Chain A
Amino acid sequence: MSPVQDARRRAEFEQLVAQAYEPLQRFLRRRTDPATADDVLGDVLLVLWRRVDEIPAEAPVAWSYGVARGCLANHVRGSVRQERLVERLKQEPAGGPALGAEHEALDEAMAQLPENDRELLRLWAWEQLAPREIATVLGITPNAASIRLHRAIGKLKELMGRPATGGAARGETERGAGA
């Protein structure tokens, strides 16, 4: 690799780290205990460096979440850490405002959802991603991300006894547009 290429790759890596370092810590600590999050962050940085040529111009941070997801899955696979992860996800939000009955109902409803749905909802509400970015994280089409998120929201509302909102009717003519 030429020094020029090397410098370019390095600059791209540093740029991504500048954008993603803090969000990645939040992403990991939302999904595992602090010690594991710390371990995995190191792995993630290494993989990001190795894959620096693949960083998409669009949604680089969401892409790095996808990398982090993979690293975390590998880290907890088949280990006792899996249990710690589950424990972690049941924890109370840290230092937030006092939670009311509505939050409790939501928390309970979340707990009843399959993990796939919970992850979609976290990416949407915690990482604040749009369906297109969620698609990048999960490695699925934007269209599929929209549909799955819609279904997950629907299930959540059902569990909370809320009426479903009529989202499905709004975009029928645009299905798959720009995907």
Chain B
Amino acid sequence: MSNENVPSDEFPADLPADFDFAADDDLRALLADLDPMAERVPVDPVTSARAREQVERVLAAGADVVTPPAARSRWARPSSWLAAAAAVAAIAVGTTVAVTAAGGEDGRDVVAGPTVLELQGNPSDPMTSMCLAFEVQQLAKAPVAFAGTVTEIGAEQVTLDVDRWFTGGTADVVTVATPEGMPTAALDGVNWETGKRYLISATDGMVDACGYSGPATPEFETQFEQAFPTKS
């Protein structure tokens, strides 16, 4: 498999793939002297309590260990996604706003309880799905986007108290259905956590994964603001 798909200008010289550059060992050693992290500089050993703690955190289903939003990307909707989507298609019928309390016909409730938006969790398995690169322009296409704090995690749904709508709704509360059989890690391997604030975008009634929804950070919120500039 030599030089496939590589522009010809990558090969001004002929070298075997395992050329060892032994003739340049002195230069390599000289360069190594400039290494700021040479072996003599201590780092945390893998046997340290800190290392153990980090590993345990990751193994605990990735909870609380969050990659920056920009590090994530959108699911490319592979076949596994389609299969999983079929399983929930019966329920995922688009963005539905269900008013739980009786409201006036003009939409202004008198003694209204909170309005509730029902969404589906994304059934993509973060372990196997492919993502495309995150782009604010792509985020801007989401018909639904908001920020909210998880108030309750039930067996089949997560409830969020919305504090900010970017687009697509006015509901005070959003529930995200996480039916049995769906990956517990509904957000790119990040678990829902009560009391934690999330930025969520959704399309066709389904939460967008792949970096388009996740725990709120100032950077992530800025991206939401860029995607959904306030009309004023």
Interfacial residues, chain A to chain B (CB-CB below 8 A): 10, 13-14, 17-18, 21-22, 25-26, 29-30, 41-43, 45-50, 53, 70-71, 74-75, 77-79, 91-97, 99, 102-103, 106-107, 110, 121, 124-126, 128, 130-132, 135, 140-151, 153, 156-157, 162, 165-168, 170-172, 174-179
Task: Name the distance in Å between B211's Cβ and chain A's nearest Cβ.
Answer: 10
How many A-B contacts are there with CB distance less than 8 Å? 210
B interface: dominant SS? loop
Q: Are B46's CB and A21's CB within 8 A?
A: yes
Complex: A145 Cα to B2 Cα, angstroms: 12
Q: Are B67's CB and A142's CB within 8 A?
A: no
Q: Which of B19, B31, B68 contacts A43 (CB 8 A)?
A: B68
Q: Are A167's CB and B18's CB within 8 A?
A: no
Judge if B33 is at the interface, Cβ distance under 8 Å.
Answer: yes
Judge if B65 is at the interface, Cβ distance under 8 Å.
Answer: yes
Q: Are B46's CB and A18's CB within 8 A?
A: yes
Judge if B110 is at the interface, Cβ distance under 8 Å.
Answer: no
Complex: A163 Cα to B35 Cα, angstroms: 24
Specify which chain B residues have a CB less than 8 angstroms from the CB of A172 in the assembled complex: 14
Q: A47-B67, A50-B62 are in contact. Are A167 and B35 (CB under 8 A)?
A: no
Judge if B91 is at the interface, Cβ distance under 8 Å.
Answer: no
Task: Name the distance in Å between A88's Cβ and chain B's nearest Cβ.
Answer: 8
Q: A22-B45, A147-B12 are in contact. Are A167 and B37 (CB under 8 A)?
A: no
Task: Name the distance in Å between B54's Cβ and chain A's nearest Cβ.
Answer: 6
Task: Give the interface size class of chain B.
Answer: 35 or more
A interface: dominant SS? helix
Specify which chain B residues have a CB less than 8 angstroms from the CB of A175 in the assembled complex: 2, 14-16
- B2-13 vs A, CB cutoff 8 Å, 1 = contact: the mask equals 111010001111
Q: Are B28's CB and A125's CB within 8 A?
A: yes
Q: Are A144's CB and B10's CB within 8 A?
A: yes
Complex: A30 Cα to B58 Cα, angstroms: 24
Q: Are B65's CB and A21's CB within 8 A?
A: no
Task: Name the distance in Å between A146's Cβ and chain B's nearest Cβ.
Answer: 4
Task: Name the distance in Å between B69's Cβ and chain A's nearest Cβ.
Answer: 9
Q: Are A42's CB and B54's CB within 8 A?
A: yes
- B25-47 vs A, CB cutoff 8 Å, 1 = contact: the mask equals 00111111111111011011110
Q: Are B24's CB and A110's CB within 8 A?
A: no
Q: Which of A50, A77, A147 contacts B10 (CB 8 A)?
A: A147
Specify which chain A residues have a CB less than 8 angstroms from the CB of B59 in the assembled complex: 10, 13, 49
Complex: A49 Cα to B54 Cα, angstroms: 12
